[in-house]
Amino acid sequence: MSLLHQDHPWIGREVEDTATGRRGTLRAITPDDGVRPRLMAWLQPPGGGREWTTDPDALDNPAPITPDTLPAP
């Protein structure tokens, strides 16, 4: 993947951020650029809006895959 993005089976699916209780679409898993590098999950609210970050370990309850939400090949 480019830009140091990590593969994750839930990319493009709506998931729960258990740290905040919010749901959003998982857009990317990338390294943080801080002093102690760690991975961060980027989520976008349903219907669009401002993305937020969370720890990838806080992701849970992915939406089921349906014919409309099949991952791109």
* Confidence (pLDDT) at 34: 67
* Confidence (pLDDT) at 1: 46
* Separation between Cα atoms, residue 30 and residue 27, nearest integer Å: 10
pLDDT band at 6 (very low <50, low <70, confident <90, very high): confident
* Confidence (pLDDT) at 66: 74
pLDDT in tens, 9-65: 999 999 999 999 999 999 999 988 766 678 999 999 998 899 999 999 999 999 987
Question: pTM (2 decimals)?
Answer: 0.81
E strand segments, 1-73: 14-17, 22-31, 39-44, 52-54, 59-60
